[in-house]
Amino acid sequence: MTSQPTLSKAGHGPEGPGGPPTGSGLQAGLKNRHLSMIAIGGVIGAGLFVGSSTGIATTGPGILLSYALVGTLVVLVMRMLGEMSAANPTSGSFSAHADRALGPWAGFTIGWLYWFFWVVVLAVEATAGAAILEGWIPAVPQWGWALIVMVVLTATNLASVGSYGEFEFWFAGIKVVAISAFIVVGGLAVFGLLPGVDSDQAGLSNLTGHGGFLPNGAGAVLTGILLVVFSFMGSEIATLAAGESEDPQRAVTKATNSIIWRIGVFYLGSILVVVCLLPWDSKAIAEDGSYVAALDSLGIAHAGQIMNFIVLTSVLSCLNSGLYTASRMAFSLGQRGDAPQAFARTTHRGVPRAAILVSVVFGFVAVFFNYKFPDSVFLFLVNSSGAVALFVWLVICFSQLRMRKIIQAEAPEKLVVRMWLYPYLTWLSIGFIVFVLLYMLTDTEHDGRSTVLLTMLVAAVVLAIALVRHRLAGRSAAATAPERDEAGVG
């Protein structure tokens, strides 16, 4: 039986309530503008630009409901995470919170699953970026571009956390400007206010025409949820980065409070524009991608290349953040004794070099599998990490249920961010996540079943390792206790 965790043991190192972790080796190298843009850009992934076309083609205009439902869940989960992270900012974020609230087995399991997710993402994004760059400069092979991109961003992360923040500031800035411009231009075209553009397909009538708002039935909304849920992964990055900011508590609070408008504008706003500019069943959406097809419908020259540049920026942003996130999770695991101690060592610049290098090496291995065994080994890696987002959100929910009581008992003044309608909305979120996981088990058309089963398999293996480690550690402690007692008596 484990003892009740306390706030003073956060991350196994002292942390001030309003400042960066002390004694952790990390430095407060991220400025407030970095954190603000990381928070905004974190919700705009390449999946939004690339993957939304499948959701629209499957669900119709009702895909807006799918995005709204998942977006609401993410808002609630981020509120829970914000409550815990504002009270105790740490580079381990939800993994460190789970360690304290649920036990070392939970922190170990979800931390390693999250790390696994991001090193696989490194390979996926590096390959996607390389494909775009090879199209522009075919003299360099695709594997060469993947190598170049990974090396450059590894060097950036190794330099300092400030370098990561500066790169991400500009990557995220380009994404934000691009999608904001798309919403404004597309919105004007929908209402016939865009000078020089006469789009006979655009209009609010596209929301109800062509078979209605739900042309494939209400059940398609659930299928849409499965297709869009993973594009929201990354919203939590701001809470990991907050531990290296000038004012962690303020950064977490600001990121948490702004999540509603960020999802509302960038996800719902942009998708609304797409389905108003073109009929949902337009062949162009399926063939060219939703955003490219929407730009083409306005007669904007070189729409495909413009979107390729925006997607490339999103890919580089995701790679940059993915490497940062994986390394900080590995660093936190090392601090808590759940990973080699070398992961918890930092350079004089406060950079966890070993954690970064190990993460990028596994990323390179995954890239190799993508080129040599794309339909076997790499497909297994992608599918087995596919449902990690839902598992992470589930752990955040259960952690918050217990952490609220711990914080209220020990340091109620740290509850500067509070989950709404606690504990009812927390339990509602848990129910919705479990429902989505169960529904995925019935989905064979979009690989939902294989994704959940493979992720559960990997999770079970990691959990088994965690339980064995915990039991061995307990036996070791029990074996050394008599020796300590004898030494004390002597």
Residue carrying structure tokens 């400042």: 19
Query: In the chain, what is the straight-line distance between the N-terminal and C-terminal CA atoms, in Å?
Result: 30
C-alpha–C-alpha distance, residues 486 and 25, integer Å: 36
Q: Kindly provide the residue ranges of all beta strands, DSSP E only, lying in 417-473, ordered along the sequence.
A: none
Cβ neighbour number for residue 336 with a 10 Å cutoff: 22
DSSP conformational letter for 341: G
Residue 466 has what pLDDT? 93
C-alpha–C-alpha distance, residues 297 and 285, integer Å: 10
Residue carrying structure tokens 């601090």: 335
Cβ neighbour number for residue 205 with a 10 Å cutoff: 11
Q: What is the pTM of this model?
A: 0.88
List all residues 6 or more positions away from 17 whose beta carbon is below 8 Å from its beta carbon. Answer: 87, 88, 249, 411, 414
Residue 34 has what pLDDT? 83
- Are 164 and 328 in contact by the 8 Å Cβ rule? The answer is no
Q: In a structure prediction context, what are the per-residue pLDDT tens digits for the chain, which is 490 residues long?
A: 333 333 333 333 333 333 334 344 787 788 878 887 887 776 676 677 777 888 998 899 999 999 999 999 999 999 999 999 999 888 788 999 999 999 999 999 999 999 999 999 888 888 888 988 999 999 999 889 998 999 998 999 998 888 888 988 898 889 889 889 999 999 998 988 887 665 667 889 999 988 999 999 988 999 898 888 888 888 888 888 887 887 888 888 888 888 888 888 888 999 999 999 999 999 988 888 888 888 888 888 788 888 888 888 988 888 888 899 999 999 999 999 999 999 999 998 889 999 999 999 998 898 888 888 888 888 888 888 889 999 999 999 999 999 999 999 999 999 999 999 999 999 999 999 999 999 999 988 888 899 999 999 999 999 999 999 888 877 766 666 555 555 554 4
Angle of CA points 145, 151, 152, to nearest 5°: 90
For residue 151, give Cα distances in angstroms to 45, 49, 166: 21, 25, 17
C-alpha–C-alpha distance, residues 436 and 438, integer Å: 5
195: region left, alpha or beta (phi > 0 left; psi from -120 to 50 alpha): beta
Tell me which residue of 368, 437, 419 sits closest to 225, measured CA to CA.
Answer: 437
